[in-house]
Amino acid sequence: MLRQRWKLHTMITFLVCLVVLVSLLVTDLLISTTINDQLEESLEEKAKVISKTVAKSRIVKNGLQNEEHAREIQEYSTDIRKATNVLFIVVFDMNGIRKSHPNPERIGEKFVGGDEKSVLEGKEYISVSEGTLGKSLRAFAPVYDENHKQIGAVAVGISLEKVDEAIDLGHENIIIGSIIGILVGIVGAYIVARYIKKILFGLEPLAIAKILEERNTMLQSVHEGVIAVDQDSTITLVNKSAIRMFKRAGLSGNPIGMRVEDYIPTFEIESVLRTGKPELDKEQSINGISILVNRVPLIVNKQVVGAISTFRDKTEMNQLAEQLTGVRTYAEALRAQSHEFMNKLHVILGMVRMGYKDELTDFIHTLVDHRNHEVGHVTKNIKDPALAGFIMGKLSYGREENVDLSIVTKSVIPEPKHSETTHEVITVLGNLMDNAIEAVAQSNRKAIEVTLTYSQQHLFINVSDSGPGLSKEMVDHVFEKGFSTKGPNRGYGLYLVRKSIEKLGGEITIQLKPSNGISINVGVPFETQTGGEGDD
């Protein structure tokens, strides 16, 4: 990757200053040219007006017509020249002889410059020429008598040095303004660069590009679907996993730029934009596909500017949960049976060493009869191998905990039509039995009875224990997520029971016994392979 030679702050400052400098230089050039032209036009117009005014003066006309009044022309011209601040005002007759001049000694001499011939022919014009007073801009105007006969001419001169001085002064003002503009531009560029750097969290362009690439790679590589919207609920980002899930749900096309409620009417992300509060682990359905959704707001400067939602197909999660539950169930069953078997082996070993052959024989017969009775009862009345194996494991676990756990089947429990039903039933039974075993742990009488009944395509479960029971206030909260009387990080068992029963479309009730203990009744639809009734 190429290394960035200049920092963002330096580049922004340099570019802004360069733009301001070029703009001011171009402006300076254009304004200077315009001002020069306007200033020259203004001075030319000034000279022409003065020349015409003097040419129409009665004093000038009388002086040209009568030598006795010729001296008055000099006085008049001098007053006008001082008042208008021009270089000279020269009045001369048709022979080019001066009647006035800034230097009185040159009165009576011939006009110098060589550009006066046209005015003696009655023309008004502007010229640039060099005379006794130096190079000047000259305005010529003819003088006529009452009969409109030309009797002389007037020449008004403005020194070109003064013209250049005026132009230079205007140019200096432009340069001063340009310098001030450049300084303001530098300060503004510095402020803009600092502001941009701040809103970019101090990151340089290469770092921003790297973060963007990392973000895109991460979004496209995660298995969860990701969708982002702005404050107007317009979709701004969707990753590949989300597109795949949308296609499975029958949604096609590119959703970016569409409003989320138009593309996925049931997505329900508007509440996050409205309240600014996250929503976690929400179950939702998109055209029959169940997903688990997390929605969090995007907050900038304490304002909600959008929201991001991540979601995953709940079917995959359920499959993982089923596998995890099955492995855990079998592991617990094996561990309990192994522990129970080791205890029995220790008893047998002690009897062998002590020579109690008759007692050993009776003990082994008792174990075999009890095991055969227990296994036979469960396998005879519970036809689902997974459920039967699970119950056998719980019976061993109950004996390990010194709990009198009894399983009563009032009818044959057939195998369900769908394996998902077995998973949900095991979740319900497992959590209810575990809670009951924990409830009787400190009781004098540790007894739990589990009754299973199948009737009319429904499975009924009753779990009764001899524990301390619950208060009436607690009954209303035991199925809430995180509620527990056993301390923190607990309270998920009965919550999962409720979710499984809701998924199966069943019901659950809790009865408080007159004495200690509680009785929990569950009824769920239980469709079987044959659709028949169980045997009573």
Identify whether the C-beta of residue 398 lies closer than 8 Å to the C-beta of residue 448: yes
185 DSSP assignment:
H
121: CATH? 3.30.450.20
Question: How high is the pLDDT of residue 335?
Answer: 62
Q: Mark whether 24 and 113 lie in a shared domain.
A: yes
Which region, left, alpha or beta, applies to residue 487 given φ > 0 means left and ψ of -120 to 50 means alpha?
Answer: left
Same domain, 368 and 481: yes
Q: Are 396 and 336 in contact (CB under 8 A)?
A: yes
Region 483-491 average pLDDT? 55
Per-residue pLDDT at 432 exceeds 60: yes
DSSP state for residue 514 in the 8-state scheme: S
322 inside domain: no
**In what order do the strands lie in the sheet containing 404-409?**
404-409, 447-455, 458-465, 518-525, 507-512
Per the structure, the count of domains in the chain is 3
Q: Please compute, for residue 148, the number of CA atoms within 13 A of its CA located in the half-sphere on the CB side.
A: 0
Is the domain of 309 the same as that of 362? no
What torsion, rounded to 10 degrees, do the Cα atoms 107, 110, 113, 118 define?
110
Residue ending a domain, choose from 313, 330, 347: 313
Do the domain assignments include residue 414?
Answer: yes
- 437 in a structural domain: yes
pLDDT of res. 225: 83
Residue whose token pair is 């296994």: 375
Predicted pLDDT of residue 2: 43
pTM: 0.41
With 0-12 / 13-18 / 19 or more C-beta atoms within 10 angstroms meaning exposed / middle / buried, residue 501 is buried
Q: Residue 161 is which amino acid? A: E
Q: What is the pLDDT of residues 154-205, one digit of tens each?
A: 999 887 776 677 667 767 777 787 788 778 877 877 787 778 777 777 776 6
Measure the CA–CA gap between 459 and 199, rounded to whole angstroms: 62
Question: 366 is in which domain, residue-wise?
Answer: 356-525
Average the pLDDT over each of 51-55, 277-281, 375-379 and give the range with the smallest value: 375-379
Question: d(Cα 493, Cα 477) in Å, to the nearest integer?
Answer: 13
CA pair distance 119, 499, nearest whole angstrom: 114
Residue 289 pLDDT more than 90? Answer: no
Average pLDDT for residues 407-414, to the nearest whole number? 87
Residue of 490 and 32 predicted with greater confidence: 32
